[in-house]
Structure 1
């Protein structure tokens, strides 16, 4: 989930289809673009902002 820091409004959410078992999100750079990985079940889902 992503929230507005000032208002607390929910700006975005994503249903993974599986539980997230206490693992932390990871972030990395690839070709100058930052990605965030969310572990869920036996998969990693990558998110990035549009160019």
Structure 2
């Protein structure tokens, strides 16, 4: 995975805290129950999951 910018790290931290508090929702409105789902959402929102060319 490419290096993350400070803004991406803050976004990932924010999303993971939401998951730990039980407040993270998926796009369908369901509460996220697995850590793997939360990580995928965090990387997607931060734009860190995009491939660098």
| Short-chain TM bin | under 0.3
Which structure is richer in relative contact order (CA contacts within 8 A, separation 6 or more)? 2
Give the TM-score, by structure 1 length. 0.18
Give the TM-score, by structure 2 length. 0.18
Which is strand-richer, 1 or 2? 1
Q: Which structure has the larger Rg?
A: 1
Which is helix-richer, 1 or 2? 2
